[in-house]
Structure 1
Amino acid sequence: MFRKIKKHLPSSLFGRTLLILVLPMIFAQIITIYIFYERHWGNVSRNLAESLSGEVSLVVNYVNNVDDEQRLEKFLSSAGVLFSMKAKMLDGDEISTQISPIKHELYEDYLKLKISNQFNIYENSAGNEVLTIVNLDNGRKVLISVSKKRLANSTTSVFVIWMIATTFILMAIAIMFLKNQVRPIIRLARMADNFGRGQEISEKYKPEGAAEVKLVANAFLNMRNRISRHIRQRTEMLAGISHDLRTPLTRLKLELELLKEKLSEDEIKELSADVEDMEKMVQSYIDFVRADEEEETSRCDIAALLRGIISKYKDKLEIELISDVETQLEVREHAMQRAFVNLIENTAKFADKLKITINADKQNMHIWFEDNGTGIPENEREAVFRAFHRVESSRNRNTGGSGLGLSIVQDIINGHGGTVRMDESESLGGLKVEVKLPL
């Protein structure tokens, strides 16, 4: 039961808080109006009906016992002034067509208790008078007309309108204050989302709102500073190590040139290949460091970016790009280019055909890289994104690497608030890599 109700409850903090405030207010007003109607309005209505029926019965009882027309006219005239009513005798069927019958149970019940004559109750065409026509004992009829206010208390409707108006005013005030309380939370959520996408947080942002919201905002800013400091320290450390490694590698290359006369050609080639392999590894470490470098985000056409990369790999791969959607995204262009290059280079090592498909829904852009290579075992698909992990057990120079390529890809995509995962390609039979980026 509760689960069914929960499905229809608002999901936002604003909606739920408003519900907590408004529902008790509405219930309180309904109960108040109900009690007012049951007790006050019921008593007032009964008193009014009893009072009017008593006055009408007095008039009816008098005219039933008097036959003198002059006395009747004089009495009806004085009764009209005394009881705030209009009373006159009707001859035959002298009834206006501009009246319509109405039901007033309380008035009818009290009048039946006080007189034995038959009567009918009407209202005039304007709807502001109640007319009671009583059949007298002598066959004549008497018409008694009173203001409708004699049977209805106008202050009741004023009270109800005031209660409803007060409810709406209080609701409007509650909504205004709630929006002011929720706005800092929404702003904080946007800042956190932007940080997750690798975008800079404006220096103008300052924690605001309730004390608890400020506490969360300050904790978020402290976390951001710690993460930024950690990334900066890691970047500086790896950059320094990579730079220091380049110096001895350069010396080794020079020494190999000097040793050409002392060593055989095969030995020189083997040593040169080792040095070249080490240089590639150092370069991959530098690329890994660059994945964490701060770069301003800008609007970028993802399809155009991929076309530019594809043009450089036409000799190595048969590449097909399929895109029928708008591909503009707010990204760090150079970092995204590096991620795509790593994916395509990884494909070029193990396949000769690549299909890239770009699609989008309301929230994300999906980019699929499918090849006809050997693929990656299912139990290795998560591990390959770890730094320095290689599927191959050997370090073959032709297909192997430093094990950082896919780790760089994941760092860059995650830095944009996206995800990357692997599956088996149904169309080409090899590996399928899905890159999902938020719009």
Structure 2
Amino acid sequence: MSFLWLKHYMPRSLYARAVLILLLPVVVLQLVVTVLFLTRHFEDVTQQMTTTVARELRLVLDVVDAAPDRATVGPFVAEALSELAMTVEPVSPTDVPSANLRGFMDFSGRVILAVLPAQVQQLSRIDLTENRRVHVYAESENGPVRVSFDRRRISASNPHQLFVNMIFFGGLVTVIAILYLRNQLRPIKRLASAAEAFGRGRHEPYSPAGALEVRAAGNAFLDMRNRIERQIEQRTLMLSGVSHDLRTPLTRMRLSLSMLDEEERAALEQDVDDMQGMLDAFLNFVKGAGEGDPEPIEPHSFVAGIVEDARRAGRDVTLMPPEGDGEGTVQLNGLAMRRALDNLISNAVRYGAMAEVSVMLTEKTLRVRVEDDGPGIPEHRRAEATRPFTRLDASRNQDRGGGVGLGLAIATDIARAHGGVLRLSTSDRLGGLRADIVIAR
């Protein structure tokens, strides 16, 4: 039998699941103990006590039948059976209840109403509504009578005290266990927070704590983070050094080209400009989302400023009306996000004639979309297009300037650093590439 359907009803967080694992056995155990106690103790004990009282009631009713007249029934029974501590008084037929009476929470009363009439045939009604007294109505030779006696003689005390104790001590143990559990889960939450921050490009202080297994996982995370940071630092130093060292010969080449005739130097200057653009792309790829810190940014005005800068640079870019019903700011790295959107817009106008930019903000998500009317990217090559130094010459227009295949890779890294994703698809309106940066708020 499959229990996969239970996943839809299980809590998502580790803390909630741990609390459920803790509470479920306690609740089930209390229910089992309660049911067993009620059936084995209260019902069995009450049945035995009711049988004893039934014999006494038969004796009392025999004495009632032997009374000389109806008026002397009470004193006659009190004199003959004073040791039983039962009071008997004649009643009129209208005083007899129309049905047996029992309180809603009177668990043992159910057993009394089932056992007592079966053993005393003269009984007509039983009244158990009073907490301390039982009133039994019976038919006798002297007419209907009411026999009253102490409730403790016929049933064990109701289990209210047991329930109160079980609930109190069960709740106390649960609270203590939850507090202990929260202390045990706190190191796991700190580890998850540090890992999430590192995935977003932030270095959050972290020291392993908690149980041995959690400490081992924390130490492994620290080792992994240190190795990744060393690799990033080495890559940054290498590419920065290469890019910096190449700027000097490029400057000398520009000075040398300026001495040539205009017709001769035009093509060579274009090559130098392409090389300069490649160096700038290398530096942007190295920087990634490492510059600046996240800050609250209003996305609509932020993207509008980027689009306006692109229009001033001569690019055919249109800002579409805002979408979604979200308001407020989003935590973004302004420099990195500007670099990502500028790369997407540059690719759009390079490989197409125009580009459209739109922003959708909801309570949970920010989506920035850049669309163009170019040839697009085939679906089977979109994953490849986001890798560094990948140029899809067969599917992209190269007539408007070459590239080094880092534009989409930079945007992908920046989106991941914000805890988001870059999604590539086909534009329904323009027919070219549609690039979405989706970030959770």
TM-score range with shorter-chain normalisation? 0.7 to 0.9
2:416 aligned with 1:419, yes or no? Answer: no
User: Does residue 344 of structure 2 align to residue 340 of structure 1?
Assistant: no
Contact preservation (8 Å) 1:100, 1:123: no
Equivalent residue for 1:308, pick from 305, 315, 319: 305
Residues 239 and 395 (structure 1 numbering): CA distance in 2 closer, same or farther, change over 3 Å?
farther
Determine the C-alpha separation between the residues in 2 that align with 1:395 and 1:375: 9
Q: In the alignment, what sits opposite 2:146?
A: 143
Q: Select 1:298's aligned residue among 295, 300, 303.
A: 295
| Correspondence for 2:218 | 217
Check 1:395–1:58 CA distance in 2 against 1; reply closer, same or farther (3 A cut): closer
Check whether the contact 1:128–1:148 (CA below 8 A) recurs between aligned residues: yes
Q: Within 1, Cα distance between the matches of 2:71 and 2:425?
A: 110
Q: 1:161 to 1:107 in 2, by over 3 A?
A: farther
What aligned pairs does 1:188-337 form with structure 2 within 5 A after superposition?
188-201=191-204, 203=205, 205-257=206-258, 260=260, 265-291=262-288, 293-314=290-311, 315-324=314-323, 325-326=326-327, 328-337=329-338
| Post-superposition offset of 1:355 | 1.4
Which shifted more, 306-315 or 385-394?
Answer: 385-394
Distance 1:13 1:134, change over 3 A: same
TM-score (normalised: structure 1): 0.85
Shift of 1:141: 4.5
Tell me how far 1:8 sits from its aligned partner: 2.4
Q: Are the structure 2 counterparts of residues 396 and 169 from structure 1 closer, same or farther at C-alpha, using a change threshold of 3 Å?
A: closer
More divergent stretch after superposition (401-410 vs 339-348): 401-410
CA distance in 2, matches of 1:391, 1:241: 25
2:275 is matched by which residue type in structure 1?
A: M
- Report the CA distance shift for 1:273/1:163 in structure 2 as closer, same or farther (over 3 A): closer
Structure 2 contact 128–135 (Cα < 8 Å) conserved? yes
Tell me whether 192-201 or 390-399 shows the greater mean CA deviation: 390-399
**8 Å Cα contact 1:184-1:213 kept in structure 2:** yes
Matched residues, number: 424
Distance apart, 1:180 and its partner CA? 2.9
Aligned partner of residue 121 in structure 1, secondary structure: strand
The separation in 2 between residues aligned to 1:432 and 1:72, in whole angstroms, is 101
Q: Name the CA distance, whole Å, in 2 between partners of 1:79 and 1:355.
A: 107
State the match for 2:108 in structure 1. none
2:411 equivalent among 405, 409, 412? 409
Alpha-carbon distance in structure 1 between the residues aligned to 2:304 and 2:71: 112
Deviations 1:380-428 (A, max 9, x none): 3222222222222799684212222222222222221211122111111
Give yes or no for contact 1:59–1:79 (8 Å, CA) kept in 2.
no
Does the residue aligned with 2:388 lie in a helix, a strand or coil? coil
AA aligned opposite 1:273:
Q
Match of 1:111 among 117, 120, 123: 120
Partner in structure 1 of residue 100 of structure 2: 102
Separation in 2, partners of 1:69, 1:391: 114
Aligned residue in 1 for 2:104 = none
**Once structures 1 and 2 are overlaid, which stretch shifts more, 293-302 or 99-108?**
99-108
Q: Match of 1:222, as an amino acid?
A: D
Secondary structure at 2:320 match in 1: strand
- Once residues 131 and 155 of structure 1 are traced to their aligned partners in structure 2, the CA distance between those partners, rounded to angstroms, is 18
Q: Map of 1:343-422 to 2, 5 A cutoff?
A: 343-392=344-393, 398-422=400-424
Distance in 2 of aligned mates of 1:356 and 1:135: 95
**Residues 247-275 of structure 1: CA deviation (Å, up to 9, x unaligned):** 222223333445x3xxx654333333333
Equivalent residue, structure 1, for 2:134: 130
- Output the CA distance in 2 between the equivalents of 1:125 and 1:401: 92
Equivalent pair of 1:331/1:416 in contact (CA under 8 Å):
yes
Decide whether the 8 Å contact of 2:375 with 2:397 is kept in 1.
Answer: no
**1:109, 1:354 → 2: CA distance?**
92
Aligned counterpart for 2:125 among listed residues 100, 121, 128? 121
Native 8 Å contact 1:99 1:124 kept in 2:
no
Letter in 1 for 2:271: D
CA deviation vs aligned residue, 1:58-112 (integer Å, no higher than 9, x gap): 2222343453899966652345641122124x3xx63674966426121222223
Amino acid at match of 1:94: S
Instruction: Please say if residues 49 and 110 of structure 1, whose CA atoms lie closer than 8 Å, have aligned partners that are also in contact.
Output: no
Contact 1:385–1:406 (Cα < 8 Å) also in 2: yes
SS in 1 for 2:321: strand
Which residue pairs with 1:41 in the alignment? Answer: 42
Q: Which runs of 5+ in 1 are unaligned?
A: 113-117
Q: Please say if residues 322 and 356 of structure 1, whose CA atoms lie closer than 8 Å, have aligned partners that are also in contact.
A: no
C-alpha distance 14-67 of structure 1, shift in aligned 2 (>3 A): same
Find the structure with the greater CA-based Rg: 1
Aligned to 2:435: 433
Pairwise CA distance, 1:35: 2.4
- Report 1:80-91 matches (<5 A): 81-88=82-89, 90=90
Do the aligned partners of residues 414 and 84 (structure 1) sit closer, same or farther apart at CA in structure 2, a change above 3 Å counting? same
Determine if contact 1:98/1:124 at 8 Å carries over to the other structure: no
Letter in 2 for 1:317: D
Sort the Cα spacing of 1:20 and 1:206 in 2 relative to 1 into closer, same or farther, 3 A. Answer: same
Q: Which runs of 5+ in 2 are unaligned?
A: 102-112
- Cα distance, 1:130–1:329 mapped onto 2, change above 3 Å: same
Amino acid at match of 2:292: E
SS at match of 2:369: strand
Task: Indicate the residue corresponding to 1:115 in structure 2.
Answer: none
Partner residue of 2:110?
A: none
The residue identity in structure 2 corresponding to 1:283 is D
14-23 vs 297-306, which moves further:
14-23
Q: What is the rounded CA distance, in whole Å, between the counterparts of 2:179 and 2:286 in structure 1?
A: 48
Q: Give the TM-score normalised by the residue count of structure 2.
A: 0.85
